[in-house]
Amino acid sequence: MPELTAAQGEVQHYRQRLDGLLLYGSVFQTSVGEAFGALLEALQAGDVALSLRRYATWFQALAHTGESWGAHLLRQVAYADNPFTAQAQRWEYSDLPQALVAAARHDLEQLQALYQLSGAQVAGWVQAIAHLPEPPVAWAVAEAAPLALPLSTETVWAEAVAALAAHYRRHGAGLFAQYRAFSWRAGALCGIAEPDPIRLDQLTAYEHPRQQLVQNTLALLKGYPALNVLLYGSRGSGKSSLVKALVNEYAPQGLRLVEVAKGDLQALPEIVGDLRSRPQRFIIFVDDLSFEEDDDTFKALKVVLEGSTTARPANVVVYATSNRRHLVREFFSDRPRPSDQDDVQAWDTLQEKLSFSDRFGLTLTFEPADQPTYLTIVRHLAQQAHIPLADDDLTARALQWATRHNGRSGRAARQFIDWLTAELGLAPGCP
């Protein structure tokens, strides 16, 4: 049958394009890409039952993403992690190996052909090979907003290699282009799909420490020496929120946040070693930091703060929050007495504990919120939440909340406003 022969010939042609990728094979290492490759294999073999099942798998994989086939491919190209994207981030285009550029140009030509493949065309292959009276339903969806890639239906992708290299140099590649916040889990960096959306303009009070932290972060972004920072102060004063707001504010400029739990601090040298070669700037964020007397994990942090035989990376800083000014817990029994026989250099041991926090280049203090500060935060949040209460009523209820609940703090103010928003929304007569 000529229709069957033509369909199988087209399938073979596209499968050769896919199999011939030199650098961008990872584009198809997704559920959608793997389902597409399996579908081409079944169609080329002429296996009717298997072709139908694999078409259904490909259709479902696309439906789960909510993207068109072309949009999915573009997204994978944008986030591809391969030798070309890695070197394009570090070197000028003119300095890249010519063989690498040629391989990228070759792959882009293949990818453009695959990008232009429509769902209706694939459904037509299935119809011809499975001898169906009608083609199966083709996946189609409205195109999403285009990515910032210099690739489109109007451009010749193979001629856009230089522009694509500039894109990777500006925006990064792989996980660091896809996410702005990460956590260290099970020995690997994991992207956080929905990080805390807090913004700097949502924060008020503590103007001086906030301004200093922003200034230090801008120094990091602009390539000037930046300090490791300890944010010390009372609970609920917004220390963690301030750090998270920074990455939301400056992610377009290349800032990324890596949250490391205290129990994973031993992995800090490994994490920093991976980040030092990246083009982005990184905040390693350690929340609620403190150490017990016999806790040796602080030694790994000490290496990162002070450096070792390896130079400290210029693109990484550590921001840690703590409720303790001295991070290593101290007991009166730690203080040496003349009769002590256990540690000849007991004062040195004590000083090592007490001076650990001094190894942060900058310590920012967040004092407990007094009543005016607490009310300033409440009014700021109430304005952002469009709370329709007179100031006197808002003040009275805010003070009552602080008395009955968690005292005066930025966290208490946020909890009060969240409660009040829900209460007013549930009141009779509200939509």
* Residue 186 pLDDT: 83
Instruction: For residue range 357-398, list pLDDT tens digits in order.
Output: 667 889 898 888 889 998 999 999 999 999 999 999 999 999
Pairing of strands 188-191, 181-185: antiparallel
pLDDT higher for 297 or 403? Answer: 403
* Residue 332 pLDDT: 44
Contact between residue 231 and residue 322 where contact means Cβ atoms under 8 Å apart:
yes
Q: Per-residue confidence at 278, pLDDT binned at 50, 70, 90?
A: confident
Give the residue from 70, 72, 71 showing the smallest Cα distance to 32.
72
Query: What burial class does residue 121 get, using C-beta atoms within 10 Å of its C-beta: 0-12 exposed, 13-18 middle, 19+ buried?
Result: middle
pLDDT at 74 over 50: yes
Instruction: For residue range 333-343, list pLDDT tens digits in order.
Output: 444 555 554 54
**Mean per-residue pLDDT for 277-293?**
83
pLDDT higher for 407 or 113? Answer: 113
Q: Which residues contact 175 (CB under 8 A, 6 or more apart)?
A: 79, 81, 182, 189, 191
* Residue 177 pLDDT: 87
Q: Per-residue confidence at 297, pLDDT binned at 50, 70, 90?
A: low
CATH topology for the 181-366 domain:
Rossmann fold (3.40.50)
Lowest mean pLDDT among 40-49, 158-167, 268-277, 349-358: 349-358
CA dihedral 135, 137, 143, 146 (to 10 degrees): -70
**Mean per-residue pLDDT for 143-163?**
84
Tokens 């290299």 belong to which residue? 165
Report the predicted TM-score, pTM, of the whole model to 2 decimal places: 0.77
pLDDT higher for 361 or 132? Answer: 132
* Residue 129 pLDDT: 93
Q: Per-residue confidence at 344, pLDDT binned at 50, 70, 90?
A: very low
Instruction: Sketch the domain layout of the chain as residue ranges.
Output: 2-174, 181-366, 371-426
Q: Per-residue confidence at 300, pLDDT binned at 50, 70, 90?
A: low
**Mean per-residue pLDDT for 90-103?**
94
* Residue 24 pLDDT: 96
Computed over every residue of the chain, the mean pLDDT equals 86
pLDDT higher for 234 or 57? Answer: 57
pLDDT at 295 over 80: no
Sheet bearing 229-233, strands edge to edge: 188-191, 181-185, 255-259, 281-286, 316-322, 229-233, 362-366
Length of the chain: 431
